[in-house]
């Protein structure tokens, strides 16, 4: 019986330590663009309470950067980027830049997915060392890369469409929603992969109206981590662990007394 209680108590301690690890990780990512903190919720099942971890999807504060290729999402949705193996990954980190060949890339260096409704859109390539234009070519609707014309200023429209300052169409930033964002797998480096658990994947409704997802140019979304809440939670978890350790010591003492009593009566 004592062993059973000890195992249960150790299980509780392990869960609390795991939760403390998540809290520490959240605090470490307090300055990570678009980072979402974790929360543990409890759901009643036929076998008792079940703890479920989920990421809080509320927005972080949009902080002004004045960089034309910084984009902050406010509302539901994730930017879409393409990994080297062709897999699509998702991120809230909109710190984009121009890659070595003039393509629009994420902060991790992966191509940002931009839906281009104009199949005849012509972009320019350039020599990375000299910055000079070397050729023109047809990007096409389904291109995995979106190229920014040399020397152009990128402007964002309310619906997520990107154009140059001369009015040339670049394309629309791909922002997608999931029925269940908790089904995303964390790849690290602020990237996520979709699983069957995410449910339906759909294009986000982009615009400034209430209930829509808004993209803000020249801003980056800060993390939604609350340092006060996380520190408070860690204090509570530490207190709970200490209480469980006292229970283990009490059970060990009781076990020793029982063994001593049995030995004396033999």
Q: Poorest-confidence range of 10-19, 51-60, 159-168?
A: 10-19
Backbone torsions φ then ψ of 153, nearest 5 degrees: -95, 130
pTM of the model: 0.72
pLDDT at site 192:
95
In terms of C-beta distances under 8 Å and separation of at least 24 residues, what long-range contacts does 120-127 make, across chains too? 121/169, 121/170, 121/171, 123/147, 123/148, 123/149, 124/149, 124/150, 125/101, 126/101, 126/102, 126/150
Residue 29 has pLDDT above 60, yes or no: yes
Question: 126 or 251: whose pLDDT is higher?
Answer: 251
- DSSP E strands in the chain: the ranges are 38-45, 48-55, 62-64, 71-74, 78-82, 88-91, 97-98, 104-105, 114-115, 122-126, 133-138, 154-156, 161-164, 169-173, 175-178, 185-188, 191-193, 201-203, 214-217, 219-221
Question: 256 or 179: whose pLDDT is higher?
Answer: 179
Residue 131 has pLDDT above 60, yes or no: no
Averaged pLDDT score across all residues of the chain: 79
pLDDT at site 65:
97
Residue 58 has pLDDT above 80, yes or no: yes
Contact 214, 71 (CB under 8 A): no
pLDDT at site 37:
85
Local confidence band at 5 (pLDDT 50, 70, 90 cut-offs): low
Local confidence band at 120 (pLDDT 50, 70, 90 cut-offs): very low
The whole-number average pLDDT for the span 142-155 is 80
The whole-number average pLDDT for the span 88-99 is 96
pLDDT tens string 192-202 = 999 999 999 99
pLDDT at site 135:
38
Percent of the chain residues past pLDDT 90, beyond the cut: 44
């Amino acid at each position: 019986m004592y062993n059973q209680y000890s195992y249960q108590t150790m299980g509780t301690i392990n869960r609390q330590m795991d939760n403390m690890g998540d809290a520490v990780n959240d605090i470490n990512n307090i300055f990570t663009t678009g980072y979402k903190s974790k929360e543990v919720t409890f759901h009643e099942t036929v076998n008792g309470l079940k703890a479920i971890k989920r990421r809080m999807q509320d927005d972080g504060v949009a902080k002004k950067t004045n960089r034309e290729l910084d984009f902050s999402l406010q509302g539901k949705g994730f930017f879409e980027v393409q990994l080297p193996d062709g897999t699509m990954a998702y991120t809230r980190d909109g710190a984009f830049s121009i890659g070595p060949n003039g393509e629009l890339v994420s902060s991790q260096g992966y191509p940002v997915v931009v839906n281009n409704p104009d199949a005849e859109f012509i972009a320019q390539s350039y020599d990375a060392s000299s910055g000079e234009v070397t050729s023109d070519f047809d990007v096409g609707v389904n291109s995995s890369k979106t190229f920014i014309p040399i020397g152009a200023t990128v402007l964002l429209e309310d619906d997520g469409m990107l154009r140059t300052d001369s009015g040339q169409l670049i394309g629309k930033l791909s922002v997608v929603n999931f029925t269940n964002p908790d089904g995303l797998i964390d790849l690290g480096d602020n990237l996520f992969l979709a699983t069957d658990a995410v449910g339906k994947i759909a294009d986000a409704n982009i615009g400034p109206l209430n209930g829509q997802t808004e993209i803000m140019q020249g801003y980056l979304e800060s993390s939604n981590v609350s340092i006060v809440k996380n520190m408070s939670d860690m204090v509570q978890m530490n207190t709970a662990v200490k209480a469980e350790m006292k229970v283990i010591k009490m059970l060990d003492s009781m076990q020793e007394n029982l063994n001593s009593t049995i030995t004396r009566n033999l």
